[in-house]
């Protein structure tokens, strides 16, 4: 199987976010970056499929020069080669622009399967995968928890709401968005890190399609404390507490 994995480099989760003066993005000049966690699970699933069925795993990412660091990490974990759509503007691009850039880079690849993470840790729209599937003309399936290859077709398990799951079969080529937790992540070995230095990263120029979305304002959520007393009988207080936690606090 020839598999492409689309990955994204995002700001590290422990970095203190600071908006720019115009509040349309974050000050990332001195930020630390890491591989988007859902994409790491997609990469791991691709590597496992390659181990079972053979083939090649190519990783693809769109963004500024710093993205090469994430591609090198993916190569160190076991990917065979990488494609970097290099463009500074793609650092803050919306899902449509990103999908167009990735599609242009992958359209000449002979792929059986494309994997992406379910969503990115920064913008979190969960749309790049489905838009990319449309641009490539691949059969899509989202929120995947298990992938099986049977007689040249895919049988996948989708996570639904309320603890329900759905098994579907789809033809290849296909594109799947992978849910975090589908597998146990591997980490790069010293041998893998050394081998990654010799693997190819092909750089292609970015495209400039018209953005579909614009960020009006970006800000860090304010923290506040509030004390609320719930009265009534023990039974009434318990019912009201459950309602508040479910409908207002949304903790379950």
CB count within 10 Å of CB 83 equals 22
Q: Is the pLDDT of residue 163 over 90?
A: no
* pLDDT band, very low/low/confident/very high, at 222 (cuts 50, 70, 90): confident
* pLDDT band, very low/low/confident/very high, at 146 (cuts 50, 70, 90): very high
Q: What are the CA-CA distances from residue 220 to residues 37, 74, 160, 163 (Å)?
A: 21, 31, 30, 32
**What's the chain's average pLDDT?**
89
pTM value is 0.82
Q: Is the pLDDT of residue 31 over 90?
A: no
CA proximity to 196, closest of 72, 56, 43:
72
Q: Is the pLDDT of residue 171 over 90?
A: yes
CA proximity to 220, closest of 90, 27, 9, 36:
27
Query: Which residues make Cβ contacts (< 8 Å) with residue 93, sequence separation at least 6?
Result: 62, 101, 211
- What pLDDT shows up at residue 23? 80
138 or 216: which leads in pLDDT: 138
Q: Which two tokens stand for residue 193?
A: 């890190």
Q: What are the CA-CA distances from residue 81 to residues 70, 75, 172 (Å)?
A: 13, 7, 22
The answer to whether the beta carbons of residues 83 and 105 sit under 8 Å apart is yes
pLDDT digits (tens, 9 = 90+) for 37-74: 999 999 999 999 999 999 999 999 999 999 999 999 99
- What pLDDT shows up at residue 109? 93
């Amino acid at each position: 199987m020839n598999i492409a994995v689309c990955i994204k480099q995002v700001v590290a989760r422990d970095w203190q976010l600071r908006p720019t003066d115009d509040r349309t993005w974050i000050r990332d000049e001195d930020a630390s970056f890491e591989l988007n966690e859902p994409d790491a699970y997609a990469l791991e699933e691709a590597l496992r499929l390659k181990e079972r069925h053979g083939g090649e795993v190519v990783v693809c990412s769109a963004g500024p020069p710093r993205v090469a660091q994430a591609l090198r990490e993916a190569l160190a974990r076991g990917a065979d080669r990488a494609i970097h759509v290099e463009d500074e503007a793609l650092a803050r691009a919306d899902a449509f622009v990103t999908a167009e850039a990735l599609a242009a880079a992958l359209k000449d690849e002979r792929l059986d399967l494309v994997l992406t993470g379910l969503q990115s840790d920064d913008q979190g729209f969960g749309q790049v995968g489905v838009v990319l599937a449309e641009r490539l003309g691949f059969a899509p399936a989202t929120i995947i928890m298990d992938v099986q290859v049977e007689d040249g077709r895919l049988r996948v398990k989708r996570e639904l709401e309320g603890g329900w799951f759905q098994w579907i079969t789809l033809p290849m080529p296909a594109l799947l968005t992978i849910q975090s937790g589908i597998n146990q992540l591997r980490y790069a070995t010293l041998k893998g890190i050394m081998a990654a230095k010799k693997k190819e990263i092909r750089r292609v120029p970015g495209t400039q399609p018209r953005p579909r979305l614009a960020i009006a304002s970006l800000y860090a959520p304010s923290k506040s404390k509030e004390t609320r007393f719930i009265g009534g009988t023990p039974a009434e207080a318990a019912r009201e507490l459950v309602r508040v936690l479910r409908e207002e606090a949304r903790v379950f």
